[in-house]
Every structure is written in structure tokens, then in C-alpha cells.
Chain A
Amino acid sequence: MTAGTVAVQPSIAARLTGSRVGRRRTVVDRSMRTVAMLAAFLCAAPLAAVLFYVAANGIGALNLDLITKAPRALGIGGGAANAVVGTLQMVPLAAAIAVPLGVLGAVYIAEFAGRRSARIIRFCADVLVGVPSILIGIFVFTFLVLPFKQFNGFAGAVALAVIMTPVVMRTTEESLHLVPNALREASLALGVPVWRTVLSVVLRTGLPGILTGTMLGVARAMGETAPLLFTALGSRVVNVGDFGRPMDSLPLFIYVNARQPVDALNQQAWGAAFLLLLVVLIINVAVRARSWGRRIG
């Protein structure tokens, strides 16, 4: 390099402060951050809006009559007892089917299955979670409604169970994976049989996670409408215990009453919506608050 070609270097101070690019970058940075922040708020906004809207409209319509009284056979008035009773029967029955199935399935893929079969089952469960719920309704319709020529509560519970099972299974599986291997080894090294280790150590340690999955599944099933349209159908009668006949549920009640050209019935729908929202919200908040406090679960 010859002396003649050496460019004059700007001073260090000029190099540190004189950049137009740097100033422009700051401006772009600020504006993009703001946009991203707004987007984040917009993501959470629907929850707030729904809460506010349903509460504002439903709080006046939610009263004891809504929960305890059946709809009048003729005309308007009465309550949503048919829906409350139906939900209280179909959801527990669905849970009674889905929880043992989901937990056992999770035990299999987390503890016993080979890597490939575990991956296949896990994949199927994930796809099942994403299947439009009305398809599940139609599927159950073909083998639990059509043969009997009768919409029935049992078919409704089965449809809800199909929706709950993968939720329970995947959450349970995740929580079993969080159980340290050291605990399995500790148990087996004591001469505890494998089945007892799974039951008393692995499932016991993962229990908070299993409860979380169960409650999330219950909350999900409680709010489902579409799978019940083809199965439980809905009913204006308070049906206690007769799973062979149509049953109502809170979402079905909302769906039916909201479409009536009668203000009093619309009000009942708002009240039922508020009730459903409260229950689902309480379950969700309770479950998540529990898991905030713990590592496992």
C-alpha cells in the first residue's frame, strides 16, 4: 500500500455519532415494537371483550329460577334447569369414559410403548384434538343414534368423551414425562414391581398434571355445542337419568334460545351463557393457578 492511496480516516468521535443509519434504525425499532405490542394486546382483547359483553348482558338474567326451573311447556318463562341437569349428567359420564381411557393411554405411550408407536399414537391424538367437533357428532350419530332411531344423552356423552380423551391423554403424557427417571429407578431398586411403580410413584407424582388435563378436558367438553346437535339433540324436558332419551345442555340451550324471536328467551340465553362462562372460567383459572405454584403439573 503506497502513501498516496491512504484515505483520511474520520475522527473516532465522528464515527461514533455521525451515523444516519443508526438514527433511522432507532425510529424503525420503536415503531415496530409498538406495533408488536398492539398486536399482543389485540390477541388478549377478545377474552376481555367476551367477558365484558356476556357479563353485562347475562348478569341480570342469571338468577335462581334459571338454574332450578324447567322451561314452560307452553309460552315463555321458566328457567334452564333442563340444560343444567343435562350438562351435569353428560359431562361427568363423558369424563368417566375419557379419563380412564386417556390416563391409561398416556401410561402406555409414556412408560411402555416403543418410540415409533408412541409417536404414531401421539400424532393421532393431536389430530383428533383438531378435528372439527361437528364431525365427531356425526361420527357418533351413525353408530349410537341411527341404529336406535332415537337421539339420546348417552350418544352425547360419548361424543364429548371423544373430544376429552385426547386432551386428557396428551396432558397426562406430558406430566408423566416430567416425572424424573430417578424416581422410577429408586422405586424399582427397592424391589417394587413395575405396575406398582407406575401406579404409586409415576402416576402419583404426575397427579397434579393429570388433574389439570382432566379439568381442561371437562371445561372443553362443557362448552361444546356441535357434537351434541346430532346426538343428545337437546330437550325442553328435565331429563334426569334417562340416557336413552334426548338431553339438553347449556350450550344447546343457548343455541336454541338465542334464535327465538322472543326477548325473554334471549335473556335466558344470556343468563345461561354467563353461567357457562363462569363455570368454565373458574375451572380454567383454578387449574392454571395450581400449576403456577408447582413445577410438575
Chain B
Amino acid sequence: MNLETAVRGPDEAIEAPPERPVTYAPPAPVPTVRPAAATAGATGGEIVIENLDVYYGAFRAVHGVNLTIPPRAVTAIIGPSGCGKSTFLRTMNRMHELTPGARVEGSVALDGIDIYRSDVDPVQLRRVVGMVFQRPNPFPTMSIYDNVASGLRLTGRHRRSELDEIVERSLRRSALWDEVKDKLKQPGTSLSGGQQQRLCIARALSVDPEVILMDEPASALDPIATLRVEELIAELRRQYTIVIVTHNMQQASRVSDRTAFFTMGEERAGYLVEADDTVKIFTNPREQLTEDYISGRFG
């Protein structure tokens, strides 16, 4: 049994890619292991999507998606612009509902519970399924500390004594602590773009989600900041179910365990072409369309 299966447990072990196209130095042992993940049996966070259609009014943006997103692993969603990647991502924490006229058909089940069931509260759902956006969006009126604490404060679930601890833990987990520990009272917007994005990741982590959705989290960042965010994803991948939308195929190949390829079909509706282990997708995809896309022939 290797480390991979030891952490995940044998029953839902995903074959570790034999070799990643680009390898980082293996993540250093995470100093602050997430308590939930440390306890045995904490293997939740599987998402099963069945026959999912997403509409904006009469327009069908995403059509017929069947996809299983494994827990405690990184799933990348790639595809050309306008193929509904972001829309699809936002159905997993019901953020798409903020757009007037948006609705879904089909089911999205998180650990067996359809998140569109009438007794699922989208507000509670979003505490379990966190999100990181394309552009860093720290709250401009808040300090670095308050930004991380905001998730707890605004959801009304904090004890003052815990707050310091959670803020530090979240910032450590997002690999930002050493850079900001001496200036926690400064505004979050005083940080560089890459630091702001890691601050936003820390903010998302602070409410202890099971799943983290990332919508092109590095596309507004410079290459070095991008690298830091990718390293961070590599460190978080054993503890959270991560779904990342990216335009950047190299990024998908670097950070993800599984890759799902979307493209645009009839009447501009996005659909899932195939999903497989990342190595398989990038070396030997089943579909010709996938091969054309990853080899740069379209998109």
C-alpha cells in the first residue's frame, strides 16, 4: 500500500497517475493537517452528476452531463471558451442561481444527496462547497485578518477564541502565513494579485468546506503567482475535493488527477466529451475531438 491509498483508503482509491507530465517537488508534509481529514473515515466529497442540463431562460448552456468527481482529488475541466465550463462549475454550489432565469435539470449529488432537493439550503450548501474566482476578490473594506475571518463572522459561527486559530490555520494552509503574519491588520487589497488570490483561497478554507470549486483561479495572475497557486492546489488535493476550470491545458496536466473535456455542441450547448485520468486524456484520449483539442488543432 502506498501513501496514496493509505490516505484515501483502499475502497475508493484512485490510481495515482504513474507519472505526471510535469512534476513538482513532492509537497512538503503539510504542517497543519486538517482535523477532519486526519480522522479515519473522512472520505466524503464525492460528486455524482447525472443527466445535467443547465438553462439560462430558453438557452441551454450545458447539455446531458454525466460525470463522477472523485473525492480528495483534483478534477480539471478544460475546453474552449463558451463551452459552459464555468456554468457547469457553478451548478455544483448553486451559484448559477444568482443569474436570473437560470435553472437546471438532472441531478448533482454530493455524497449521495441531491443538492437540488427542496430541503437543501443553498446557503448551507455553499459552506460545504466553497469557491475561488477568476479574479482575486478580497473584501476591500477588510484587513487581511478580517478577510479570512469574514466567512466565519458573516455566517455567525464563531467564538472569538477560535477565530485567531482558524485564521492562522487557513493562512498556513493557503501558504500565505509567512508572508502576511506581520501585517494582518493591513487591507487585503494591499497584497499583490497572487497573494490576494491565496488570501481568497484561505478565506474559502476558513469555513471548512469539503469541496473547493476554482474558476480559472490563476488566469489573472502572472506566471510566478500562477506557480504558487498550482503548488498550493497540489498541497490541498489530499484534503479536499477540488474541481478546477482552466483554459490552460498545461495547467490541467500539471495539477489534476482527473480531467474532463467539454466542448460546444449543437445550438451552442456545452457538453462533456470525455472524462478520464489526466494522464490518459493527455496521452491517449478515447475521443478524436479531445485529441484535436489538446494538440491545439481547435479551440
Chain B residue nearest in CB terms to A190: B151
Of A180, A190, A204, the contact of B207 (CB 8 Å cutoff): A190
Is residue A183 contacting chain B, with contact meaning CB distance below 8 A?
A: yes
Contact residues, A253-297 vs B (CB, 8 A)? 296
In whole angstroms, how far apart are the Cα atoms of A40 and B104 in the complex? 57
Chain A residue nearest in CB terms to B124: A191
In whole angstroms, how far apart are the Cα atoms of A189 and B98 in the complex? 11
In whole angstroms, how far apart are the Cα atoms of A205 and B127 in the complex? 23
Contact residues, B129-155 vs A (CB, 8 A)? 130-131, 133, 135, 137-141, 150-151, 153-155
Q: Which residues on B sit within 8 Å (CB–CB) of A192? A: 123, 150-151, 154-155
Determine whether the beta carbon of A182 is less than 8 Å from that of B98: no
Of B124, B137, B204, the contact of A180 (CB 8 Å cutoff): B137
Determine whether the beta carbon of B200 is less than 8 Å from that of A186: yes
Which among A43-51, A86-94, A193-201 touches the partner chain? A193-201
Determine whether the beta carbon of A186 is less than 8 Å from that of B133: yes
For chain A, what secondary structure do more than half of its interface residues adopt (helix, strand, loop), or is it mixed? Answer: helix
How near does chain B come to A169, taking the closest CB pair, in angstroms?
22
Contact A185-B95, Cβ < 8 Å, known A190-B127, A190-B151: yes
Determine whether the beta carbon of A183 is less than 8 Å from that of B126: no
Contact residues, A165-212 vs B (CB, 8 A)? 180, 182-193, 196-197, 200-201, 204-205, 207
Is residue B93 contacting chain A, with contact meaning CB distance below 8 A?
A: yes
Chain B residue nearest in CB terms to A186: B137
Determine whether the beta carbon of A200 is less than 8 Å from that of B154: yes
Counting contact residues on chain B (CB < 8 A from A), the size range is 20 to 34
Is residue B237 contacting chain A, with contact meaning CB distance below 8 A?
A: no
The interface size of chain A toward B, counting residues with CB under 8 Å, comes to: 21
Q: Which residues on B sit within 8 Å (CB–CB) of A197? A: 154
Determine whether the beta carbon of B155 is less than 8 Å from that of A186: no
Is residue B203 contacting chain A, with contact meaning CB distance below 8 A?
A: yes
Contact A205-B139, Cβ < 8 Å, known A190-B130, A190-B154, A200-B154: yes
Contact A191-B137, Cβ < 8 Å, known A185-B98, A186-B200, A196-B154: no
Contact A190-B133, Cβ < 8 Å, known A185-B95, A205-B139: no
Determine whether the beta carbon of B139 is less than 8 Å from that of A191: no
Known contacts A185-B98, A196-B155, A197-B154; can you find 6 more A-B pairs with CB under 8 A?
Answer: A186-B133, A188-B95, A189-B93, A190-B203, A192-B154, A196-B154
8 pairs, CB–CB < 8 Å, chain A vs chain B: A183-B137, A187-B150, A189-B131, A190-B151, A192-B123, A196-B156, A200-B150, A201-B139
